[in-house]
A = this chain, B = another copy of it.
Amino acid sequence: MHTQTAQRFSDRLADSIRRAGAPVCVGLDPVLERLPEGATGETPECRIVHFCRSVIDAVAPFACAIKPQSACFERYGAGGMGVLADTITHANELDLPVVLDAKRGDIGISASHYAAGAVRLGAHSITLNPYLGPSTIEPFLDAGLGAFVLVRTSNPDADRLQSMQLHDGPTVSESVAEMVAELGASRIGASGLSDVGAVVGLTKSADGARLRERMPDQVFLVPGYGAQGGGADDLAPLLTQDASRPGRGVLVTASRSVIYAGPGTGEHWADAVGEAAERFRDDVGEAIQGG
């Protein structure tokens, strides 16, 4: 259970946003075939450890959180899970909040097991799927984790389910947004942000205003920046109206456009990753100032 003395996830994230200067998160989606040659090691697992640790070191001054994609580690079995644990440990050593991108969703008792697994890894928050209902989100909150609930995802065919119109007016994703706001209402920190956030893809920013209206206190974890085609202009509808909220209530993530900035730069690949993270931080910072 979450102890009274531990800092809330949302407040911890708010501190990190202030330190980094903009609400940007770097996604760690390591794929063996795409690693720069400079990420060396005796085994595939060692190469990924080297890569993830170096990326974290390079982006730490500019990013306010790290988001490892669980699938990229799980595909390598028990060895991959060891690499994931090492990666999260290293982020903790640098005091970087960790969003475990695992998109879990299961009935209560299984949700408790997933939550225990995430806590054991050292993660501070996790992405979750709402299809099974609120009781499948709560065990993660009870374990002291922050949550980012999938509301409106960036993939093109997300509309198939998320944009369906309900008979009483809103869409499915708007109704999920209401569920997220209800779950988060009792979990708001000193920063004014809730421990229960939402995933809202940048490519779906046309829906942003209706979602923000329903989720004024939520941090929106916003994928789709860079490689997936969204840009700074799409960010405005997702921001909180209240300009005093840290990061205007968003946490913009980029993965491939930052972590694979290095190929062709030889042994200096990690410098290129750091420079890409700095540009990303500056871009998002400007967009938020102007938003």
Closest to A164 in B: B166
B71 & A131 in contact (Cβ 8 Å cutoff) = no
Q: How far is the CB of A29 from chain B (nearest CB, A)?
A: 8
Interface of A is mostly: helix
Q: With A75-B114, A161-B179 as given contacts, are A156 and B131 in contact (CB-CB < 8 Å)?
A: no
Given contact pairs A71-B111, A75-B120, A132-B153, enumerate 15 new A-B contacts (beta carbons under 8 Å): A71-B110, A72-B113, A75-B116, A78-B78, A107-B154, A107-B155, A130-B131, A131-B161, A133-B153, A133-B157, A134-B160, A135-B156, A136-B155, A160-B179, A161-B176
A72 & B110 in contact (Cβ 8 Å cutoff) = yes
Is A175's beta carbon under 8 Å from chain B?
A: yes
Pick the contact of A164: B81, B108, B175 (CB < 8 A): B175
Rounded to whole angstroms, the CA-CA distance of A155 and B77 in the bound complex is: 30
Interface size class of A (residues with CB under 8 A): 35 or more
Contacts of A160 in B (CB 8 A): 133-134, 179
B107 & A153 in contact (Cβ 8 Å cutoff) = yes
